[in-house]
Structure 1
Amino acid sequence: MTKATLSQAEWTQRADLAQLVAALDADNLRWVGGAVRDTLLGLAVKDIDAATLLHPEEVMTRLKEAGIKVVPTGLDHGTVTAVVDGGPVEVTTLRKDVATDGRRATVAFADNWQDDAARRDFTINALYAHPVTLEISDYFGGLDDLDARRVRFIGDARERIREDHLRILRYYRFQARFGSVLDDEGEDACAALAPTLKGLSRERVAMELLGLLDLADPVPTVRRMFDRGVLPVILPEVEEDGLARLLTLTRTEAAQGAAPDAIRRLAAMLPAEPKTAEQVAARLRLSNAHKKRLARLAARARRPGDARVLAYREGMDVARDLLLLAEQSTAALDRWEIPQFPLKGGEIVARGVGAGPEVARVLRAVENRWLEEGFPDRSRIDQLLREELPADN
């Protein structure tokens, strides 16, 4: 086992975490997973997880006695959540797998740190740090893999995937985020077991897929998923031209300083067919908002035209998406607010037009000319209205 020391990042010095450690006893606790990994990489730490020798009931009792709010978020799997000032901390009792079926695991509590590490997915996620000394325990070469920027399964890759089929998608997401050196065994295992992804819940697949697409540069990884037959299992609608569109979009985003967006990138990968986009959204169990947005972005056959008119008609976010997908500049939308069309139907009725379809026609005609002229002021709208009113008014 390799040992090193975690740098004294700001989060390791937090008073609320010190209170948690004191309640559970430092020798019973280790920081584990993403917080340790990301600190070693010099990245911002979002979530903090802890592993403990204590059983969940005792963890809850000790935390309550220390005045720390605790929520039994996953007692069946040994997890409780400590609610501290700096944000929730998941505290999970050491575990070992008893049985797995690729979708869920039956676990038993363990009393050995290495047993707990052995059931994790990748070596870079199985690094444990003592909360006081910050000494790191590395049982499977995770520190070397982190230095090499290599994502490697713990033990036999195929066995790890058979335990949880979602690890295929997690592998690719982690590879896109952290990897530079490919692990041939892992890649081969993912390709061989890709059909098992069909048995997973669509929500879990969507979570990993969107997480991958939201990264800075997912294109090389998505390409490998396509070439190795993994992507077609979860997105059979994507063909070669979809990968080309994704590449073009990411380059356009980078050139214009646009933040990555998973739904926009998913739309780029799919054909410009709203019905297909709706089917994909339904299959992935996306939210209604994401489903509607994906379908709208799929209806992109025509060029977007004037950026501000597009934003007025579609909303700012959809307009930016459509412009980026069409490789057009979004600069015209920067620091610009969508104006409100000031003319109301009542004003047209007051000019002698009877309520009904004619009012709607005049209103629409004036609005269209107002848009064509670049949102002129109220005096011009009045002039346009006079020109559009029926001759007998």
Structure 2
Amino acid sequence: MAERLPQVEWSQREDLAALVAALGAENIRWVGGAVRDTLLGATVKDIDAATPLRPEAVIEACKAAGIRTVPTGIDHGTITVLLDGGSVEVTTLRHDVSTDGRRATIAFASDWREDAARRDFTINALYVDPATLELFDYFGGLADLEARRVRFIGDARQRIREDHLRILRYYRFQARFGAELDEAAEEACAELAPTMKGLSRERVAMELLAILALPDPTPTLARIRARGVLPVILPEAGTAQIAALERLIAAERGHSAEPNAIYRLAALLPAVESIAESVAARLRLSRKQRDLLACLAERRAADHVEPKALAYRTGRDCAVGRLLLTGGDFGALSDWEIPELPLKGGEIVQHGVTGAEVSRLLRKVEARWVAENFPPRERVVILLAEELSARTNS
């Protein structure tokens, strides 16, 4: 008897049934993460589908059914279908014509197994008939799922040469799903680690941050450092930094804090702002991520003395991160809204103060207001009066 996917909520969605009807049940199969995660009993976040139909035919069929589409990756056969319950990426069956480790030249195909053969891991090459929920397993993915083993399809070295990013993807999937190490994969990743130098920095950053966002990536990062993989992309992360990451994760758990990939990246770096800025530039992080990483690099053991003052100076995200990284307690920030100084420069000008002296007085009042734990405006007015008096008498 054929294996079947359990009937779960997402597989019964009416909008997905409408998509199947539009393309024809014989022309679509669910594939990848949704299938894998359903079989593992994990939460399904994204739904992907494969089809022998060409991208233009997918667009036309959806248009005829009143379903909106976006040609997000049409050159590689991917159309994003916009549904009420969440978008679905529908990709035409394909095979690689040539690869250089960074990008592939593809040709469309009509054979499901041929499409499966170009995927990375056996557990990601499981297809499901949307009408019958019958499972199609071409490379032993079901057995690997049961064994909690992440295994490349075919020869590991060949698959990595096709796309060097598969090294980091292997470690991410192994950390998420693997219990049993695949020695062939481990050796191939270590041997071909230098090839990652040719990857785009954005792709490396995406995978690295995805690894760091896992519940506990410490054992995986320790292993890939020992195998010479981590030094290729993050040479700053030494033994001491791996230990710092372990302490951070323990602190997160102690405070029931959600994993934060940038906090964890900061733990893997020496607490030096110039190093943080260099790494952020090398990984081409977003401006927001760069600023946060640089701020976290300024962490000091004294940060936890005045959590609210720290949050006022640096912002909540940086303050929480610095407290976690230095062993402090951010409980005081949980329900606290960072206040705004209840004093404007114009009020100081009304007292006859002009020029740079306005900013100087404003900073002095602000410093006292912070030191007094953010008292109400009535106290700020008194602080200003005291500073004005001291200025007059000096």
TM-score band by shorter chain is over 0.9
Aligned equivalents of 2:362, 2:105: Cα separation in 1: 65
Aligned equivalents of 1:158, 1:131: Cα separation in 2: 34
Q: TM-score, normalised by structure 1?
A: 0.95
Whether the aligned pair in 2 keeps the contact of 1:3 and 1:138 (CA below 8 Å) is no
Distance change in 2, residues 1:359/1:72 (3 Å)? closer
Aligned equivalents of 1:216, 1:139: Cα separation in 2: 31
One-letter amino acid of the counterpart of residue 327, structure 2: E
Aligned equivalents of 2:70, 2:345: Cα separation in 1: 55
Aligned equivalents of 1:251, 1:117: Cα separation in 2: 40
Whether the aligned pair in 1 keeps the contact of 2:31 and 2:50 (CA below 8 Å) is yes
Whether the aligned pair in 2 keeps the contact of 1:172 and 1:221 (CA below 8 Å) is yes
Aligned equivalents of 1:205, 1:140: Cα separation in 2: 28
Q: Quick check: 1:26 aligned with 2:25?
A: yes
Q: Which residue of 2 aligns with 1:105?
A: 104
Aligned equivalents of 2:345, 2:55: Cα separation in 1: 65
User: What pairs up with 1:210-221 in 2 under 5 angstroms?
Assistant: 210-221=209-220
Q: Which residue of 2 aligns with 1:348?
A: 348
Task: Give the stretch that moved more between structures: 215-224 or 342-351.
Answer: 342-351
Whether the aligned pair in 2 keeps the contact of 1:32 and 1:50 (CA below 8 Å) is yes
Q: Quick check: 1:326 aligned with 2:326?
A: yes
**Alpha-carbon distance, 1:135 to partner:** 0.9
Helix, strand or coil at the partner of 1:390: helix
One-letter amino acid of the counterpart of residue 363, structure 2: R
**Alpha-carbon distance, 1:302 to partner:** 5.3
Distance change in 2, residues 1:19/1:388 (3 Å)? same
Please tell me the root mean square deviation across aligned C-alpha atoms, in Å: 1.7
Structure 1 residue runs of 5 or longer lacking an equivalent are none
Aligned equivalents of 2:49, 2:127: Cα separation in 1: 9
**Alpha-carbon distance, 1:263 to partner:** 1.0
Q: Quick check: 1:185 aligned with 2:191?
A: no
Aligned equivalents of 1:273, 1:10: Cα separation in 2: 48
**Alpha-carbon distance, 1:378 to partner:** 3.0
Q: Which residue of 2 aligns with 1:195?
A: 194
Task: Give the stretch that moved more between structures: 217-226 or 369-378.
Answer: 369-378
Structure 2 residue runs of 5 or longer lacking an equivalent are none
**Alpha-carbon distance, 1:3 to partner:** 4.2
Q: Which residue of 2 aligns with 1:273?
A: 272
Whether the aligned pair in 1 keeps the contact of 2:277 and 2:293 (CA below 8 Å) is yes
User: What pairs up with 1:5-16 in 2 under 5 angstroms?
Assistant: 5-16=4-15
Aligned equivalents of 1:322, 1:97: Cα separation in 2: 46
Helix, strand or coil at the partner of 2:389: coil
User: What pairs up with 1:297-376 in 2 under 5 angstroms?
Assistant: 297-301=296-300, 303-304=302-303, 305-351=305-351, 354-376=353-375
Aligned equivalents of 1:41, 1:31: Cα separation in 2: 16
Whether the aligned pair in 1 keeps the contact of 2:31 and 2:125 (CA below 8 Å) is yes
Whether the aligned pair in 1 keeps the contact of 2:19 and 2:62 (CA below 8 Å) is yes
**Alpha-carbon distance, 1:269 to partner:** 0.7
**Alpha-carbon distance, 1:258 to partner:** 1.1
Task: Give the stretch that moved more between structures: 236-245 or 200-209.
Answer: 236-245
**Alpha-carbon distance, 1:250 to partner:** 0.9
Whether the aligned pair in 1 keeps the contact of 2:300 and 2:326 (CA below 8 Å) is no
Whether the aligned pair in 2 keeps the contact of 1:263 and 1:294 (CA below 8 Å) is yes
Q: Which residue of 2 aligns with 1:78?
A: 77
Aligned length in residues: 391
One-letter amino acid of the counterpart of residue 77, structure 1: H
Aligned equivalents of 2:191, 2:19: Cα separation in 1: 44
Q: TM-score, normalised by structure 2?
A: 0.94
**Alpha-carbon distance, 1:72 to partner:** 2.5
Task: Give the stretch that moved more between structures: 184-193 or 79-88.
Answer: 79-88
Once the two structures are superposed, what CA deviation does each residue of 1:6-60 show, in whole Å capped at 9, x if it has no partner? 1111111111111111122112211000110111112221211111122223222
Aligned equivalents of 1:344, 1:270: Cα separation in 2: 39
Q: Which residue of 1 aligns with 2:37?
A: 38
Aligned equivalents of 1:291, 1:272: Cα separation in 2: 14
Helix, strand or coil at the partner of 1:303: helix
Aligned equivalents of 2:84, 2:300: Cα separation in 1: 50
Distance change in 2, residues 1:371/1:248 (3 Å)? same
Task: Give the stretch that moved more between structures: 62-71 or 137-146.
Answer: 62-71
One-letter amino acid of the counterpart of residue 335, structure 1: D
Whether the aligned pair in 1 keeps the contact of 2:295 and 2:314 (CA below 8 Å) is no
Q: Which residue of 1 aligns with 2:48?
A: 49
Whether the aligned pair in 2 keeps the contact of 1:246 and 1:269 (CA below 8 Å) is yes
Whether the aligned pair in 2 keeps the contact of 1:82 and 1:91 (CA below 8 Å) is yes
Identity of aligned residues (%): 64
Task: Give the stretch that moved more between structures: 360-369 or 242-251.
Answer: 360-369
One-letter amino acid of the counterpart of residue 297, structure 2: A
Aligned equivalents of 2:170, 2:189: Cα separation in 1: 8
Aligned equivalents of 1:106, 1:168: Cα separation in 2: 20
Distance change in 2, residues 1:345/1:227 (3 Å)? same
Aligned equivalents of 2:161, 2:82: Cα separation in 1: 34
One-letter amino acid of the counterpart of residue 375, structure 1: F
Distance change in 2, residues 1:94/1:350 (3 Å)? closer
Distance change in 2, residues 1:21/1:370 (3 Å)? same
